[in-house]
Structure 1
Amino acid sequence: MNHPRTLRTVTGRLAADAVRGPVLPHEHLVLDLDRDGHGAAVLDPERHAASVTGELRGLREHFGLALVVELTCRGMGRDVHALARISREAGVPVVAATGWYYEPFHTPEVDTSDVERLAALLVREVEDGIGATGVRPGVLGEIGSHGDVPAPSEAKVLRAAARAASATGLSLATHAQLGRGGLAQLELLTGEGLPAERVCVGHQDLLDDPEVHRELAARGAYVAFDTVGKESYQSDRTRLRLLSALVEAGHGDRVLLSCDISRHGYLRGEGGQGYGHLFGEFLPRFRAAGADDDLVALLTRRNPLRFLTGGTDVGTDAHMDMDADVEEN
């Protein structure tokens, strides 16, 4: 079982309290969601890795970025060798994931296996490493569904991931397409015995429904506002309103913030908002609306670390020493 205060990164184990700066809890550094041949929904490890590395290095230097949770899983073009190279070159620890995205990206074993076999497959990856790489995932995610109720294959995957999370001690992050179906996801996951505080429900900033956000948080789950800067889906003005409402309702300790960079056109060097939009644009606006440094630190460091460690509190908020010792996997 994963030690509750130790994170598994693509370059080795890292003590959670050694992460002394902000965390991006839902990003993609290498990705391939191209189903039509257009090549847009891609972060190619050869073509785009230098841009990704440069952005992360800059965020470490300017904002103290201390950890990235990379939620590219099975069927999404996962490449942990590339993640390790990016992590080392940027000087930013990276947590890799395992699981299955939503139905259009399911790999063949989802159709041919039952819940028990799928859960066992995930447990093996967590315990033995991804393929022959030896790199062990540090989170289940992004486990996907679309619509208000998961499709049968998505429900199977959610149940399998919940069982694997329970067996390994890891936490679980979901993909709720356009923010829909989060309550149904949580019901399935907790129905398998996974505590709500080990669950992060994804893309809730795309759902303009404060009541759903409050209910998810009240049940103990983390509520991800993780597409910050994706104005074509939702305006940051609306995100700020929804975030403020959830914080004012007393649930600031259940919010995670990230940008979900998921195609090369979102990279700064290609005219996009980049991984730093959260720190350079969104959080200054949140501060101007009245958020103080302690609240920002809660949302960007303490909450994601508490999520990853299954509820374990971490040390004080300060800039991380990027030369902290890292043990091998």
Structure 2
Amino acid sequence: MIRTVLGDIAPDTLGVTDSHDHLFFASAKLLGQELNDPSAAEAELRAFAEAGGQALAQWSPMGLGRRAEVLPALSETTGVRIIAATGLHQAGHYQPEKLPRLLDGLAERFIAELSEGLRRDEEPDGPPLPARAGLIKVAGDFHQVDRHASVTFEAAATAYHATGSTIAVHLEGGTHPLGVLRELDRVPASSVILGHLNRFPDLGPHREAAEAGAFLGFDGPSRANHATDWRLFDCLAALAEAGHADRVLLGGDTTSAAARAAGGGGPGIPHLLTDIRARVLRDFGPDVADAFFRGNPARAFDADWRV
């Protein structure tokens, strides 16, 4: 089953999916660019739905303004299925005084949000909300798994074995995918999503990660990483030609107010379908497009839920 904020659904009902995005996000690294407006989030979701979108995975983890309390209403209002995240990002995304509290009993926090319900970011030790997390988001560092990441990866692996949930990994600059899989060796690669591979278009590690069984996340376009956007379709073509079209996930990764179309910026969440998916259809055909946007997300977020 796939765990959404409105409950568990069968994988074949997930539909056309944005596999990595943010409706709400507030980072110490992006001060003044917070995604914190429910009306703007609703506008983005409605435009996404009008473009054919049916589901979205929000990778915003604990403590970063993910607004878990409003996600069910947004899903009901727009008709877009939302998969929410527990987990913890890199240390630098948090105010230093808040991080120790979150790190205390980290695996138990992940498990509780997956099995009982998400907590408000303002009340990490408060009562559970009705909506539960459907994935675990953690993050590596540039070309390495640093000490903070080692702690979060260990907690994520423990939570995986307790719940069966998928682990989604932010790769800093798209680097170190194979090292991340080694660090998560207690978890089957088929339960791991490696994010941001478009930011480091090295085709060799992409193929090796696919051969290992991991899902490969290409989640742009991004204003912050435009320098590698033009390599996206080279990467997709190489994977498809190598027989790995069944491992690819695509997402928008909207992380700042300036990147949200509803506020006059862009390109926004709908761009994933109106432009990226449209070109996938032209370049690779309907079967590959269906795999990238429908079949692969249905398998990637399908977890053997144990709680």
Fold match (TM-score > 0.5): yes
After alignment, is 243-252 or 127-136 more displaced? 127-136
Task: Note if contact 1:197-1:310 (Cα within 8 Å) is conserved in structure 2.
Answer: no
Offset of residue 56 of structure 1: 1.5
Matching of residue 72 in structure 1 with residue 66 in structure 2:
no
Letter in 1 for 2:49: R
1:207 alignment counterpart: 200
Structure 1: give runs of 5+ residues left out of the alignment: 1-5, 313-328
Letter in 2 for 1:199: V
2:216 alignment counterpart: 223
1:49 to 1, 13, 38: 38
2:130 alignment counterpart: 134
TM-score (norm 2): 0.89
CA spacing shift, 1:77–1:29, aligned 2, 3 Å: same
Offset of residue 135 of structure 1: 1.8
1:11 alignment counterpart: 6
Task: Note if contact 1:28-1:72 (Cα within 8 Å) is conserved in structure 2.
Answer: yes
1:288 alignment counterpart: 282
Deviations 1:253-290 (A, max 9, x none): 1110001011111111322101011211122223333x
- Where do residues 1-329 of structure 1 align in structure 2 (5 Å cutoff)? 6-19=1-14, 21-35=15-29, 38-40=31-33, 42-44=34-36, 48-63=37-52, 65-105=53-93, 107-109=99-101, 113=104, 117-131=105-119, 132=127, 133-141=129-137, 143-190=138-185, 193-230=186-223, 232-269=225-262, 270-289=264-283, 291-310=284-303
Letter in 2 for 1:138: G
How many residue pairs were aligned?
A: 293
State the distance in 1 between where 2:3 and 2:277 align.
28
Letter in 2 for 1:43: L
State the distance in 2 between where 1:135 and 1:298 align.
28
Task: Note if contact 1:220-1:254 (Cα within 8 Å) is conserved in structure 2.
Answer: yes
State the distance in 1 between where 2:230 and 2:100 align.
40
Deviations 1:135-185 (A, max 9, x none): 2111111x1121111111111111110120121011110001110122111
Task: Note if contact 1:70-1:97 (Cα within 8 Å) is conserved in structure 2.
Answer: yes
Letter in 2 for 1:158: F
Offset of residue 208 of structure 1: 1.7
CA spacing shift, 1:231–1:122, aligned 2, 3 Å: closer
Offset of residue 118 of structure 1: 2.2
Structure 2: give runs of 5+ residues left out of the alignment: 120-126
SS at match of 1:300: helix
Task: Note if contact 2:280-2:288 (Cα within 8 Å) is conserved in structure 1.
Answer: no
Task: Note if contact 1:229-1:278 (Cα within 8 Å) is conserved in structure 2.
Answer: no
State the distance in 1 between where 2:69 and 2:165 align.
21
Task: Note if contact 1:229-1:235 (Cα within 8 Å) is conserved in structure 2.
Answer: no
Letter in 1 for 2:191: R
TM-score (norm 1): 0.83
State the distance in 1 between where 2:237 and 2:20 align.
20
